[in-house]
Amino acid sequence: LISFHERPLALVAQSVFNGYSLAGKVISIELLDNFDADALRPYHDSAFVFPVSDVVSKSDILDIFDPYLSLHVDPKTCVSVNRDTSIATVHGFCTRMHAQLADRHVNGLYMGGTELMLRHRLSDLTLPKESRVFVSNVGDDIVCTDLYEIFKEFKKGKPMQVVIKRAKRYALVGYTAD
């Protein structure tokens, strides 16, 4: 974290250094207004990403979160994916600020036929029942992208999630509330 006393200097630093590579990682510079010093404290909680479709791998999730994770975190253990619940758990954020930046980056990101949600409590990952559509008898050749294409005209600007439960041959298509 670099603190500038004048905003014009911060803008120059952002325009010059954004995208440079340092120690194998690409530098991304964001300007933070009304900075909270508590955001620099270590962050030990996990983040939960939902829904993770069958085509999304652990390495795909790791690629998204890599800029926000500590350099000391083991890439083999910092991401776990539960295929039964379609939830990925990510841990190893450098600070609370890094978790907040990941939050801004991941929410609404389209991957594997669905728009991802990142939450810091598991209870925040469920969709209201009135915003879910149950699709039965889903064949092995159907992927999340297929269902997304069918239902996207009904989403009306809201994030949409598609989860396929292969073992039980059904899918849920959900729209988040306003």
**Global pTM?**
0.56
- What is the distance between the alpha carbons of residues 145 and 14, in angstroms, rounded to a whole number? 36
Question: Worst-scoring range by mean pLDDT, 31-40, 61-70, 83-92?
Answer: 31-40
CA angle 148, 163, 160 (to 5 degrees): 45
Give strand ranges (E) for 23-176: 25-26, 47-50, 79-82, 87-90, 110-111, 114-115, 117-119, 132-136, 160-165, 170-175
pLDDT for the residue 61: 92
- What is the distance between the alpha carbons of residues 123 and 47, in angstroms, rounded to a whole number? 12
117-157 per-position pLDDT tens digit? 888 766 555 555 556 777 888 888 888 778 878 887 777 76
- 10: tokens are 């911060």
- What is the distance between the alpha carbons of residues 98 and 32, in angstroms, rounded to a whole number? 12
- 134: tokens are 């149950």
Query: What type of residue sits at position 175?
Result: Y
What's the rounded mean pLDDT across residues 13-35?
A: 74
pLDDT for the residue 128: 56
Confidence of residue 176 (pLDDT cuts 50, 70, 90): low
Confidence of residue 33 (pLDDT cuts 50, 70, 90): low
- 92: tokens are 């190893």
Q: How distant is the alpha carbon of residue 156 from its chain centre?
A: 21
87-101 per-position pLDDT tens digit? 889 988 888 888 888
